[in-house]
Amino acid sequence: MVGKNNSILDMVDVHARYESVPVLRGVSLYIKQGEMVVLVGRHGSGKTAILKAICGLLPVVKGEVLFDGLSIQGLPPEKIVGLGIAYVDEMKLLFPAMSVIDNLILGTYHRHRRERRDHIEQDIETVCQLFPVLAERKKQYAGTLSGGEQQMLAIGRALMSRPKLLLLDCPTLGLAPKLAKKVVQALSELRDHGIAILLIAQKLQQVVDVADRGYVMERGEIIREDSPQELLYVGEHSRFVSPKT
């Protein structure tokens, strides 16, 4: 059921296309404040399209996207960021020739003119507490960081916009198990502080103990909603999702 329990985000019968190719076919889902929701499904099933439709990078041709009760489909991405939605692309999109600290400051671009510098510095310290390695690498160029450190920086930069909803495309992709575990633990802390999180999981098993609910995508449609534990069990005995892929 969409919109139950005072959801912060609702997608209602959303259709979207990449040029003339349909990628979302009547998607409906909801996310509550302080809830972590995972999207799973095979490559090309429409998971990334959902994130891009929410943040304005993919035009919605039918249906409605509601955030905090406001219809946001059709708004430019920068306006959606200002409303409280942050998106971390699978490619991270950092500035490799800039320092860690400068990449973090760039995450405050829509806040910079209206907030005191000490507020921004406080947020930087909060991010560094969440990801201690970034505190150690503040002056280091982003391009010299390891893959896991870059992922932490990308998430940290998104947090600098003070989002209410964080959209993450495969945040543990390519990370060693120990680093992946650290990233997932950090996301769990963010959820516990009231930030809603919608993420695409490359491996459902990595987030099964911290996510609250999950949706399975297939051919641009949601075919199942359930607890992560149930989806993991079903995925081991079906064709639509595997805990290892």
3-state secondary structure 214-234: EEEEECCEEEEEECHHHHHHH
pLDDT of residue 111: 61
DSSP state of 134: H
pLDDT digits (tens, 9 = 90+) for 111-166: 655 556 777 888 899 999 999 999 999 999 999 998 888 999 999 999 998 999 99
Domains of the chain: 1-84+165-171+196-245 (3.40.50.300)
Work out the average pLDDT over 98-110: 89
pLDDT digits (tens, 9 = 90+) for 171-211: 988 888 888 898 999 999 999 999 999 999 988 999 999 99
What's the pLDDT band for 235 if we cut at 50, 70, 90?
low
In which order are the strands placed within the sheet that holds 85-88? 85-88, 165-169, 196-200, 36-41, 213-218, 221-226
pLDDT digits (tens, 9 = 90+) for 37-66: 999 999 999 999 999 999 999 999 999 999
pLDDT of residue 237: 47
